[in-house]
Amino acid sequence: MSPLLLQGIAGGIVSGCVYALIALSLVIVYKSSDVINFAGGELVMIGGYLGMFALLWLGLPYLLIFPFGALVIFVVGALFDRVVLTKVAGRSVHGQSVLVAMIIATVGLSYMLKGIVRVIPYTEEVRRLPPISSGTPIFVGPVVLQHQDIAIVLAAIAIMAALWAFFSFTMAGKALRATSQNPRAAALVGIPVRTMSMTAWGLAAALAGVSGILLAPKLLITPDMGVIVILALAAAIIGGFVSLPGCVAGGILLGVVQNMIGVYVSSRAISLAPFLVIMVVLLLRPQGLFAGRAVAKKV
């Protein structure tokens, strides 16, 4: 196999893991409230800034900036659901879709977060977090692997594994799954649906924030770094938008395809890659790669 191809795949897996995490965040929100979170990118951005703040100003050890950032953004996401979305959903007007109003609320959140960041003087200077791990690159055959990239992949795998365990083995995780499948039935069996919705939003926000901290050593932390959400959206669509494993596969697939297009077609086409992959997937398997035929209908 050509070294170019192998290096491209390795690089694509690293980027893809981050896209997958952000896509997971989008899908968790979608499964819990049928809303596409257009503030997902800004939550990633806030995560990056919080990580920088924790490291440089609070002087926290590197490993602690992850739980710190996750906790703060969990609160942001949960509060947004409780304070804004609950009210928006409660004020449904006959004949008008509540979902549109909720989506617009997420757009508003995205503008608000970006605006807040822009007025804080601390954020004027463009920065990057130091690498999570550094050292001499590791060579696997012709492929160069940076410690930073390995750390990102391992962190992403750990987070995905923790999520899987949470949803599979904990009462809270099962309650969240039940609520997303059928809120009314969940309420009937005593699951506090409103609390579950708030938890889902908090969890999704925390996931996005942690992705931002993982990204921050690789990208410059700027108010516009949330633009990466477009790639995560593509990953979620490829996976089927209802499947968590689908997001992971979609993210990694997208990362690899992006690099392959850049290497074998043109660097100019890299930005087209997500849309090309979406189109191919929608043409060949419109429900996404991992979404099954039957979908549980909410009553």
Partner 1 sequence: MNSHRRFVLRGLLLAATLGLTAHPVRAADPGITSNEITIGLFAPMSGPLTAFGLDALQAAKMWYEETNKNGGIHGRKIKVVIEDDKCNPNEAVAVVKKLITVDKVFFVHGGSCTAAAVAAQEFVTREKVPHVMLNASGDGAVIPATRYVFGAFAGTQRTVGATLAEFAVKELKAKKIAVIAHDDEYGVANTATLKAVATALGAQVVATEMISPRITDVTAPLLNVRAANADVIVSTAYPGPAVLIAQKYGEFGMMKTPLAQAIQGIPVPSAFAKNVGNDAALANFYYGSPLNDLTDGPKQQKWIAMYKQYYPDRTPSGFMAYGLPSAMAVTRALEKAGKDLTRETFIDALETVEFETGVIAAPVAFGKSRRDGSRGSLFVKFDGKTHTLMPGVYLWDGKAGM
**Which is nearer to partner 1, 6 or 291 (by Cβ)?**
6
| 114 is a contact residue toward partner 1 (CB under 8 A) | no
Residue that is written with structure tokens 């609520």 in the block: 179
Choose the stretch contacting partner 1; rule: CB under 8 A; options: 4-12, 26-34, 72-80, 175-183: 4-12
150 belongs to the binding site for partner 1 (CB under 8 A): no
How far apart CA 227 and CA 13 sit, in angstroms, is 19
| Residue 146 makes contact with partner 1 by CB under 8 A | yes
Minimum Å gap between C-beta 283 and partner 1 is: 25
**Interaction between residue 1 and partner 1 (CB under 8 A):** no
Query: Do residues 256 and 274 make contact, with C-beta atoms less than 8 angstroms apart?
Result: no
Of 203, 222, 248, 278, the residue at the interface with partner 1 (CB under 8 A) is 222
- Least CB distance from residue 123 to partner 1, whole Å? 8
| Cα distance between residue 234 and residue 26, in whole Å | 11
The span from the CA of 94 to the CA of 74, in Å, is 33
Q: Is 124 in the site for partner 1 (CB under 8 A)?
A: yes
| From 56, 60, 99, 144, residue interacting with partner 1 (rule: CB under 8 A) | 144
Sign of the alpha-carbon dihedral angle for 144, 147, 152, 157: positive
Per CB under 8 A, the list member of 82, 114, 128, 177 interacting with partner 1 is 128
110 binds partner 1 (CB under 8 A): no
Residue of 104, 107, 112, 118 interacting with partner 1 (CB under 8 A)? 118
DSSP codes of every residue in 25-55: HHHHHHHHHS---TTHHHHHHHHHHHHHHHH
Closest CB 203 distance from partner 1, rounded Å: 25
Subset of 272-291 contacting partner 1 (CB under 8 A)? none
Please identify, using beta-carbon distances, which residue of 139 and 169 lies nearer to partner 1. Answer: 139
Establish if 131 lies at the interface with partner 1 (CB under 8 A).
yes
Among 8, 48, 240, 246, binds partner 1 (CB under 8 A): 8
Query: Is residue 40 part of the contact set for partner 1 (CB under 8 A)?
Result: no
Size of the site for partner 1 (CB under 8 A): 40
Reduce the secondary structure of 54-98 to three states and give it as a string.
Answer: HHHCCCCCHHHHHHHHHHHHHHHHHHHHHHHHHHHHHCCCCCCCH
Look at the chain and count its residues.
299
Find all residues with CB under 8 Å of 38, minimum gap 6, and list them: 103, 106, 107, 109, 110, 229
Yes or no: say if 156 and 214 are a contact pair by the CB < 8 Å rule.
Answer: yes
Instruction: Pick one of 23, 263, 277, 281: the residue that binds partner 1 (CB under 8 A).
Output: 263
- Answer yes or no whether residue 188 interacts with partner 1 by CB under 8 A: no
Out of 219, 276, 289, 291, the residue judged to bind partner 1 by CB under 8 A: 219
Identify the burial level of 295 via C-beta atoms within 10 angstroms of its C-beta, where 0-12 means exposed, 13-18 middle and 19 or more buried.
exposed
Q: Is 25 in the site for partner 1 (CB under 8 A)?
A: no
Cα gap 251→243, rounded to integer Å: 12
| Residue 208 CA from chain centroid, whole number | 5
Q: Are 289 and 41 in contact (CB under 8 A)?
A: no
Q: Could you list the residues that contact partner 1 (CB under 8 A)?
A: 4, 7-8, 11-12, 15, 118, 123-128, 130-131, 137, 144, 146, 217-220, 222-224, 227-228, 231, 255, 258-263, 266-268, 270-271
